[in-house]
């Protein structure tokens, strides 16, 4: 799949934002005073920037509002509602907290909604049978793990953050490996795609068009095997190991910020790989 910048930004930033907000909603972060305001601003900022980035992926962003319509069947629609609900609830939570009023029930609800939002985002991908690499419970699991980890890192909970970073690293590694296996084991082959399997081995001869099309640009993105391995290693280093290293030095706001930045950059890279490595079954028609 084409690793669109808008989608990488969307999933990374909104995931982190909702993770942070969820964290705060559970009352685990500083949610009062300037520090609280700052963290809320960061959480809402990340979530909203992510959501805004997602509309850049729309062909007709001016019609984005229509996306709320089909929540009964569409994960994208559900995600839109959940995001709205989560942001709404958490705004109330933030207002209450900043006004120093009790808000835990609202916070818990907001946190749940935020995590559901992240899960719904992941479900947009996980539901797609056409992308064997995504079509698995591990997709929402990984998205949630990243959201929670980012939330922890951003709020500066040192040891939980370190533990979560290591756990997510492991999860990501396992997800890559099982994803590879799923992609390799996909029952959809050139033979089944063309129905010509019973006759013999099928090799693409000429594509329907000599240039690119929406389909080839969007869904037949190819990334070299060697290249992918290097990028995975880099992502592991950047998203998890480097932040852990930074967090191990004495806590300081700058260190936390640096660790968070590294983690987010690394997450963005894992997201780039999430898209770039995902083979759409349609590619069987072309390659």
Partner 1 sequence: MDGDQTQRPPGPPGREIRKTTCYMCACRCGIDVHIKDGPSGKEVAYIEGNRDHPVNKGVLCAKGAAGIMQHRSAARLRAPLRRVGPRGEGRFEEITWDEALEELATRLDGIRRTDPRKLAFFTGRDQSQSFTGFWAQQFGTPNYAAHGGFCSVNMAAAGIYTMGGAFWEFSSPDWERAELFLLFGTAEDHDSNPIKMGLGRLKARGVPVVAINPIRTGYNAVADRWLGITPGTDGLLVLSLIHCLLKAGKVDLDYLSRWTNAPCLVDENPKSDMPGLLLRGDDGKPLVIDRASRKAMPFDAQGVRPDLSGRIRRAGITHRTVFQILAERYLSDEFAPERIAPQTGLEADQIHRLAADLAHAAFDKSYEVAQTWTDFRGETHKTVTARPVSVHAMRGISAHSNGFQTARAIHLLQILLGAVECPGGMRFKAPYPKPAHAHPRPCATSAADTPLDGPHLGFPTGPEDLLVDADNRPLRLDKAFSWENPLSVHGLMHMVISNAYAGDPYPIDTLFLYMANMAWNSSMNTSGVMGMLADADEDGNYVIPYVVVADAYSSETVAYADLVLPDTTYLERYDCISLLDRPISEPDHAADAIRHPVVQPDRNVRAFQSVLVDLANRLKLPGFTEGDGTPLYADYAEYITLHERRPGVGPLAGWRLGQTHLVDGRGDPNGGQLDHYIRAGGFKQFDVPESARFMRPWNDAWWEFSQRMGFTDAPQPYLFELWSEPLRRFQAAAEGRGEHQPPEHLRAMIRITHDPLPIWYPPLEDGHADPVEYPFYALTQRPAAMYHSWGGQNPWLRQIHGMNPLFLPTHLWLSEGFATGDWARVTSAHGEITVPVARMDALNPNTVWTWNAIAKRRGAWALSPGAPEARQGFLLNHLIHELLPEKGDGLRWSNSDPVTGQAAWFDCRVKVERVPPSGVSHPAIARQTSPVGQGRKVVARRTGDVPAPPPSAREVLRGAMAALKDRIGR
Partner 2 sequence: MTDLPQATGKRLGLVIDLDTCVGCHACVIACKAWNTEEGQSPLADMDAHGAHPSGAFLNRVHSYEVTPHDGTAPRIVHVPKSCLHCTDAPCVTVCPTGASWKRAEDGIVLVNEAECIGCGLCAWACPYGAREQDPAQKVMKKCTLCVDRIDNPALPEIDRIPACVRTCPTGARHFGDLGDPDSAVSRLVAERGGMALMPEQDTGPVNRYLPPRDKETELDILAPLLTPVTEGPKGFLGWLDRALEKLG
Positions that interact with partner 1 (CB under 8 A): 203, 205, 208-211, 213
CB of 220 to partner 2, least distance (A): 9
Residue pair 259/161 in contact (Cβ under 8 Å)? The answer is yes
Q: Based on CB atoms, which residue is closest to partner 1, 159 or 205?
A: 205
- C-beta contacts of 204-209 below 8 A and 24+ residues apart: 204/285, 204/286, 204/287, 207/286
Q: Based on CB atoms, which residue is closest to partner 2, 78 or 146?
A: 78
**Only segment of 62-70, 109-117, 177-185, 233-241 that touches partner 2 (CB under 8 A):** 62-70
Q: Is 60 near partner 2 (CB under 8 A)?
A: yes
Nearest Cα to Cα of residue 139 among 126, 121, 124, 120: 126
Query: Virtual CA dihedral for 78, 80, 81, 86, nearest 10 degrees?
Result: 120
Could you say which of partner 2, partner 1, none residue 130 binds, taking C-beta under 5 to 8 angstroms by partner kind? partner 2
Q: Is 199 near partner 2 (CB under 8 A)?
A: yes
Q: Is 204 near partner 2 (CB under 8 A)?
A: yes
Question: Which letter does DSSP use for residue 12 in this model?
Answer: I
Query: Angle of helix 158-185 relative to helix 225-236, nearest 10 degrees?
Result: 160
Among 82, 109, 120, 128, binds partner 2 (CB under 8 A): 128
Could you say which of partner 2, partner 1, none residue 256 binds, taking C-beta under 5 to 8 angstroms by partner kind? none
Among 30, 112, 166, 193, binds partner 2 (CB under 8 A): 193
Q: How many CA atoms lie within 13 A of 203 on its CB side?
A: 2
Spatial CB neighbours of 99, under 8 Å, sequence gap ≥ 6? none
In angstroms, the first-to-last Cα distance of the chain is 14
Q: Give the distance from CA 3 to its chain's centroid.
A: 12
Q: Is 49 near partner 2 (CB under 8 A)?
A: no
Q: Name residues contacting partner 2, limited to 148-187 (CB under 8 A).
A: 187
CA atoms of 79 and 205, how far apart (whole Å): 41
CB of 48 to partner 2, least distance (A): 19
Q: Is 214 near partner 2 (CB under 8 A)?
A: yes
Nearest Cα to Cα of residue 16 among 161, 154, 150: 150
Q: Is 227 near partner 2 (CB under 8 A)?
A: no
Q: Based on CB atoms, which residue is closest to partner 2, 32 or 66?
A: 66
Q: Is 228 near partner 2 (CB under 8 A)?
A: no
CB of 118 to partner 2, least distance (A): 17
248-272 in b/e form (b: 16+ CB < 10 A) is eeeeeeebbebbbebbbebbbbbbb
CB of 183 to partner 2, least distance (A): 14
Q: Based on CB atoms, which residue is closest to partner 1, 102 or 208?
A: 208
Residues in touch with partner 2 (CB under 8 A) = 1, 57-61, 63-64, 66-70, 72-77, 80, 124, 127-131, 187-188, 190, 192-196, 198-209, 211-215, 217-219, 280-282, 285-286
């Amino acid at each position: 799949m084409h690793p669109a910048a808008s989608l990488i930004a969307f999933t990374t930033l909104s995931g982190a934002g909702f993770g942070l907000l969820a964290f705060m909603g559970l009352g685990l972060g500083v949610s009062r005073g300037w520090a609280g305001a700052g963290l809320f601003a960061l959480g809402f900022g990340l979530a909203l920037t992510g959501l805004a980035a997602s509309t850049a992926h729309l062909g007709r962003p001016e019609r984005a509002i229509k996306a709320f319509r089909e929540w009964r069947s569409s994960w994208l629609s559900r995600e839109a509602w959940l995001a709205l609900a989560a942001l709404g609830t958490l705004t109330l939570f933030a207002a209450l907290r900043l006004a120093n009023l009790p808000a835990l029930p609202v916070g818990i609800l907001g946190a749940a909604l935020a995590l559901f939002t992240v899960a719904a985002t992941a479900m947009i991908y996980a539901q797609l049978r056409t992308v064997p690499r995504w079509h698995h419970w591990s997709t929402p699991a990984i998205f949630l793990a990243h959201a929670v980890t980012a939330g922890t890192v951003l709020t500066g909970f040192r040891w939980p953050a370190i533990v979560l970073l290591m756990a997510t690293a492991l999860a990501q590694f396992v997800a890559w490996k099982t994803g590879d296996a799923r992609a390799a084991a996909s029952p959809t082959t050139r033979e089944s795609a063309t129905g010509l399997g019973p006759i013999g081995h099928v090799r693409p001869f000429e594509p329907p068009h000599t240039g690119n099309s929406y389909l080839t640009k969007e869904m037949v993105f190819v990334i070299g095997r060697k290249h992918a391995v290097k990028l995975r290693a880099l992502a592991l280093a950047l998203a998890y190991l480097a932040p852990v290293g930074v967090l191990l030095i004495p806590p300081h706001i700058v260190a936390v910020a640096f660790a968070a930045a590294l983690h987010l950059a690394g997450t963005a890279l894992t997201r780039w790989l999430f898209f770039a490595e995902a083979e759409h079954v349609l590619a069987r028609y072309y390659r």
